[in-house]
Amino acid sequence: DGGITQSPKYLFRKEGQNVTLSCEQNLNHDAMYWYRQDPGQGLRLIYYSQIVNDFQKGDIAEGYSVSREKKESFPLTVTSAQKNPTAFYLCASSIGGGNSPLHFGNGTRLTVT
Amino acid sequence: DAKTTQPPSMDCAEGRAANLPCNHSTISGNEYVYWYRQIHSQGPQYIIHGLKNNETNEMASLIITEDRKSSTLILPHATLRDTAVYYCIVRVLITQGGSEKLVFGKGTKLTVNP
């Protein structure tokens, strides 16, 4: 089955540690995205990538980093510089270009204590 | 960025049509309206999108007003499994010919009651 896989579903870390969230897609999509969701809120864009080896900052990129070395993979690192890292993180992909829906994974819930 | 306005919550009886409104008065001529829904602790699920014509698929219908300043998502026969938060989103083109950025608001929490 084609889709987007995020792992793990739940992640716990101590404050001050970097943590990397995995996102893999087998939809052959060019574009990939990372969103963050806080309780009762909508989604906010962290980073996006339109093509391999290229990525751009979204609205709330501070404290995060990404890489796009392979088309199917777009890992997100939450660094110790992120002041409020506890959140629900969603990865998405799309064919790219205009008029193409995003397909989302089922998210990773990160808790930092 | 074009913004959308949705009621925070709505109720619907099972088996009846659910009509979810959305205002997007600042939408530009080439911006699409997308609808997604999110069930608790899952990723958003794409429902439908349109530019200016009404659209229908197996999940729902999308009615866009002629001036494109508002739209309505219609779930023709709501079931309990349709209980979710529904997001109306206007696509924002990031770069010429590039990917879109979807700006999510808080959405409408639809509760389908038995």
- Return the sign of the alpha-carbon dihedral for residues A23, B103, B63, A39: positive
> B86 to chain A: nearest residue by CA?
A42
pLDDT tens, position by position, B9-58 = 999 999 999 999 999 998 888 788 999 999 988 999 999 999 988 999 99
Distance (Å, whole) CA B96 – CA A67:
23
Place of tokens 């026969």: B77
> A101 to chain B: nearest residue by CA?
B46
Asked if residues A62 and A81 have their Cβ atoms less than 8 Å apart, the reply is yes
All residues of chain A having their beta carbon less than 8 Å from the beta carbon of residue B45 are 104
Q: What is the pLDDT of residue B99?
A: 55
Is B104 in Cβ contact with A35 (below 8 Å)?
yes
For residue B109, the one-letter residue type is K
The C-alpha torsion from A56 through A91 and B18 to B52, rounded to 10°, is 30
Residue A64: which pLDDT band, with cuts at 50, 70 and 90?
very high
For residue A92, the one-letter residue type is A
Distance (Å, whole) CA A78 – CA A63:
6
Shortest distance between the Cα of B77 and any Cα of chain A, in A, equals 24
Task: Give A1's contacts (C-beta < 8 A, 6+ positions apart).
Answer: none
Asked if residues B23 and B5 have their Cβ atoms less than 8 Å apart, the reply is yes
Could you tell me which residues of chain A have a Cβ less than 8 Å from any Cβ in chain B? 4, 6, 30-31, 33, 35, 40-45, 48, 50, 56, 58, 88, 90, 92, 94, 96-107, 109
Look at strands B9-13 and B108-113 and give their pairing: parallel
Residue B97: which pLDDT band, with cuts at 50, 70 and 90?
very low
CB–CB contacts below 8 A, A to B: 69
Is B105 in Cβ contact with A98 (below 8 Å)?
no
β-partners of residue A112 are A13
Q: CB-CB: which of B30, B46, B106 is closest to A102?
A: B46
Which of A35-49, B25-39, B92-106 is predicted least confidently?
A: B92-106
pLDDT tens, position by position, A93-106 = 998 766 788 899 99
Closest CA to A24 of A63, A64, A65, A76: A76
